[in-house]
Amino acid sequence: MRHFLRDDDLTPEEQARVLDLAAELKAAPFSARPLEGPRSVAMVFDKPTLRTQVSFAAGIAELGGSPMLVEGRLAGIGVRESVEDVARVLGRQVALVVWRTFAQADLELMAEHAGVPVVNALTDEFHPCQVVADLLTVRERKGTLAGLTVAFLGDTACNMGNSWLLAGATAGMHVRVSGPEGYQPGREMFERAAEIGAGTGGSATSVDGPVAAVTGADVVVTDTWVSMGKEDEEAARTEVFGPWSLTPELMAAAAPDAIAMHCLPAYRGKEIAAEVIDGPQSVVWDEAENRRHAQKAVLAFLLDEAVRP
């Protein structure tokens, strides 16, 4: 049984296949109907959501299926009953489980016991569906992925930083991350990205200072300084992240045709200036739209793999 729990669950060939399928589904939204029936897909949220809920719900419907919203607070996963028992119950009802939660370990437990494919809709550690959508967006703008340089600024220790390291290396990109001390991805993320990059030509490096990180970059990415679950650290974070704010001056150090990315929600004047997110180099609305196309491709891929002998 295949799952999509972290970015390196897809090999480079599989990532390319998913991106090709996403582009096909974007051009012809109803051309794949693997959930015809309709079969149901459980979408479980333990953290706030807008894009993820609507893009999965719309995408599941376009695949012929029925999206089922499971309210995390009511289900009480790990509180009212164990992750393993919830997994066993969900797996008897639905074709796939999509879960946004805190601990990656809980998501792994769900995958171990559900008996159906499980998809990471964001954990503290990874946000792989977002980065598939982002890669689709970069490919649309640049025509290719391999060899491009991506600079990820700010809270590089968050789910998006980790996901960009692994997914970018899988795509053969050069990923530079830059953030304040104490907000860096773990060493194991760089090691894993280097291992993947050895096969794809990609690389992952930590760069001191935002200017060095963005210089000549093709893609500049940032994310909120205060991820969901970190709200009580807001004051301390705001104090140290200032120099990594994606301003027009920083964007000017990137390649002249660089694009600016943000997975949203965005806080203008903090991690990104209004002139950048609302300016001509921003591709954030394409990223948001591409969540649907990318996730449809991921679900179709997993369903296809599930029926292989």
Binding mask 119-138 for ligand NVA (x = CB under 6 A): ---x----x-----------
Helix (H) or strand (E) holding 260, with range, is: strand 259-262
Question: How far apart, in whole angstroms, are the C-alpha atoms of residue 50 and residue 19?
Answer: 23
Contact call for residues 94 and 110 (beta carbons, < 8 A): no
How far, in Å, CA of 31 to CA of 26, rounded? 10
Which of these, 98, 86, 104, lies nearest to 43 by C-alpha position?
98
- Chain positions 5 to 64 lying near ligand NVA, rule: CB under 6 A, are none
Applying CB under 6 A, does 290 fall inside the site for ligand NVA? no
Q: How many residues bind ligand NVA (CB under 6 A)?
A: 10
Of 23, 58, 61, 228, the residue at the interface with ligand NVA (CB under 6 A) is: 228
Q: In the complex, what is the shortest distance from the CB of residue 130 to ligand NVA, in angstroms, rounded to a whole number? A: 6
Enter the tokens of residue 264: 């949203």
Q: Which of 113, 127, 237, 292 is catalytic?
A: 127
Tell me how far, at minimum, the Cβ of 227 lies from ligand NVA, in Å. 3
Of 93-101, 158-166, 187-195, 282-290: span binding ligand NVA (CB under 6 A): 158-166
User: Is residue 162 within the footprint of ligand NVA (CB under 6 A)?
Assistant: no
The residues in 239-268 that bind ligand NVA, with binding defined as CB under 6 A, are 263
Is 263 a catalytic site residue? yes
Handedness of CA 189, 191, 194, 195 (dihedral sign): negative
227 binds ligand NVA (CB under 6 A): yes
- 183 or 190: CB nearest ligand NVA: 183
Choose the binding region for ligand NVA from 63-71, 96-104, 223-231, 273-281 (rule: CB under 6 A): 223-231
Assess whether 223 carries a catalytic annotation.
yes
The number of residues in the chain equals: 309
101 binds ligand NVA (CB under 6 A): no
How far apart are alpha carbons 190 and 97 in whole angstroms?
29
Residue numbers annotated as active site: 100, 127, 130, 223, 263, 291
